[in-house]
Amino acid sequence: MGGADLVIASNRGPLSFGLDGSGAPVAVDSAGGLAGALHPLLENSGATWVASAMSDADRAAADAGLMSRPGLALVVVRPEPDTYRMAYDVVSNSTLWFCHHHLFDLARRPRSGHRWSEAWDAYRDVNRSFAAAVAEVADDGATVLVQDYHLCLVPQMLARDRPDLKTVHFTHTPFADPNMFRVLPSETGREILEAMASAAACGFHSARWEAGYLGCCADMGVEPGPTFVSPLAPDPAHLGARAASAACRAARSRIADLVGDRRLVVRVDRLEPSKNLLRGFWAFDELLETHPEWRGEVVMLALGYTSRDTLAEYLAYGTEVEHVVARVNARWATDDWCPVVLDVADDPDRSFAALTLYDVLLVNPVRDGLNLVAKEGPLVNENEGVLALSREAGAYDELGEAALGINPFDVADTAAVLARALAMPAPERTRRAAALRGLVERRRAEDWLADLVAAAGS
């Protein structure tokens, strides 16, 4: 067979490319928690990583032989661009992402018409391309770790074509509750669940999402396979090296100049609806209204990056976010104080520098598979910062006892938590920050990988 005994399959791979002024591909940091977290873990591991060429730049980079990393074999799947767009935009992002995060505006969406059925066929095609690429490279009896909602059908395809392989499917998002899963076309829902059940095991970041999957199976009469829970963890050595880099140090001093001696609330997210940026800004507005002592004394630095910017929902959400920030600033700003600084220029060094400096880290998603930022912040923060964490993030299972919990739908509660965090006495900050670090350090990224490999063999 192909010679690889550990194969990872994910839509987004470790390398993403853009095009420079002359149209030549240049590497950019790969967006998203999953690719960012797995990259340091797998580099030099000897594994094979199968991923999509997601853009023209990625395709040009693959043509130019630029898709390579030390000690990691990269295999690039290259679906037809139109097929890929339908699978990624229409099925994965507009449907499955919205379903698992309970984001549908149900009076309008989903609208599973015949165009959607075509997109579902495209999704099947992309999954088939991945299964074929894995089948070609995988050694006899190899372990295959399939990641996320983009590739739900791959375990069943591999079970048919390569029954010798040991395939695990891992979901990095939440998994929908049965009532929400029912909004998918019934046969599609069943196809997803049956295909996942063909894996040797299905993994989730939280017991809540595992229960969602099992509840959907029970609801649709699908017999699930084995399941397990294994939260991912950041790599402290990788984070430490990044914090020490010259680019990060330069970004730190720029942020320090911006903030001066004011307190700093930070958020770092992908600009998208599940991250709940709007309620975060409304809560900051409410904080300034109800706690006048903080006017002029605190800055909220919201850093992020855009992705999936071909989707109408995302573009509309981005515009709304900008509007709300402008309104909060118009209401409270003074000549020498801008309350909210929003920057979605996707500058990972700046985001990382902000994590080292925050007094309060606000992580308030409406629903989130895990949220790695909630774990990275406490590891690198040098300010005994407080974590204000949504109870709907998978990471709350592990960190809830040392964080301040937030009901992410409740703006008044979020404002009250921000006020409490900002006014927290130093001894309590120190105690909570140390406890958070201890909780994060309980698990290493390697533990997550080992859990998946073990689940494949069980």
**Sign of the dihedral defined by the CA atoms of residues 27, 33, 36, 39, in that order:** negative
Q: Specify the amino acid at residue 240.
A: G
- Judge whether 415 and 204 are in contact, CB under 8 Å: no
Q: Which two tokens stand for residue 432?
A: 């909570």
To ligand F6P, the closest distance from the beta carbon of 222 in angstroms equals 22
Binding region for ligand F6P (CB under 6 A) out of 27-35, 217-225, 375-383, 417-425: 27-35
- Applying CB under 6 A, the site for ligand F6P has a residue count of 12
Q: Does 279 bind ligand F6P (CB under 6 A)?
A: no
Query: Closer to ligand F6P at the Cβ: 205 or 432?
Result: 205
- Judge whether 458 and 201 are in contact, CB under 8 Å: yes
SS3 196: helix
User: What is the helix (H) or strand (E) element at residue 375, kind and residue range?
Assistant: helix 373-380
Q: Residue 312: left (phi > 0), alpha (psi -120 to 50), or beta?
A: alpha
Q: Does 308 bind ligand F6P (CB under 6 A)?
A: yes
Give the distance between the most distant pair of CA atoms in the chain: 68
Q: Would you give the binding string for ligand F6P spanning residues 195-234, x where CB under 6 A is met?
A: ----------------------------------------
To ligand F6P, the closest distance from the beta carbon of 253 in angstroms equals 29
Binding region for ligand F6P (CB under 6 A) out of 31-39, 247-255, 397-405, 446-454: 31-39
Q: Which two tokens stand for residue 360?
A: 């309060």
Query: Closer to ligand F6P at the Cβ: 51 or 455?
Result: 51
To ligand F6P, the closest distance from the beta carbon of 308 in angstroms equals 6
Q: Specify the amino acid at residue 94.
A: S
Binding region for ligand F6P (CB under 6 A) out of 26-34, 229-237, 345-353, 433-441: 26-34
**Closest to 100 in 3D by CA, of 199, 193, 155, 171:** 171
SS3 162: coil
Q: How many CB atoms lie within 10 A of CB 49?
A: 28
How many degrees, rounded to 5, is the angle at CA 36 between CA 310 and CA 7? 100
State how far the Cα of 98 lies from the Cα of 431, in Å rounded to an integer: 37
Q: Would you give the binding string for ligand F6P spanning residues 119-158, x where CB under 6 A is met?
A: -----------------------------x----------
Query: Closer to ligand F6P at the Cβ: 150 or 252?
Result: 150
Q: Which of 9, 12, 94, 232 binds ligand F6P (CB under 6 A)?
A: 12
State how far the Cα of 207 lies from the Cα of 210, in Å rounded to an integer: 5
CB burial readout 377-399, b (16+ within 10 A) else e: bbbbbeebbbbbbbebbbbbebb
Residues in the chain: 458
Query: Closer to ligand F6P at the Cβ: 172 or 432?
Result: 172
Q: Which of 83, 227, 307, 351 binds ligand F6P (CB under 6 A)?
A: 307
Q: Does 304 bind ligand F6P (CB under 6 A)?
A: no
To ligand F6P, the closest distance from the beta carbon of 382 in angstroms equals 25
To ligand F6P, the closest distance from the beta carbon of 372 in angstroms equals 7
Q: Does 39 bind ligand F6P (CB under 6 A)?
A: no
Footprint (CB under 6 A) of ligand F6P, residues 367-426: 369
Q: Which of 172, 205, 367, 375 binds ligand F6P (CB under 6 A)?
A: 172
Q: Does 34 bind ligand F6P (CB under 6 A)?
A: yes
To ligand F6P, the closest distance from the beta carbon of 345 in angstroms equals 16
To ligand F6P, the closest distance from the beta carbon of 175 in angstroms equals 11
Binding region for ligand F6P (CB under 6 A) out of 25-33, 151-159, 207-215, 225-233: 25-33
186 φ/ψ angles, rounded to the nearest 5 degrees: -55, -40
Q: Specify the amino acid at residue 192.
A: I
Query: Closer to ligand F6P at the Cβ: 308 or 432?
Result: 308
Q: Which of 14, 32, 234, 408 binds ligand F6P (CB under 6 A)?
A: 32
Q: Which of 48, 94, 156, 173 binds ligand F6P (CB under 6 A)?
A: 173
To ligand F6P, the closest distance from the beta carbon of 334 in angstroms equals 37
Q: Specify the amino acid at residue 413.
A: D
Where along the sequence are the contacts to ligand F6P (CB under 6 A)?
11-12, 31-34, 148, 172-173, 307-308, 369
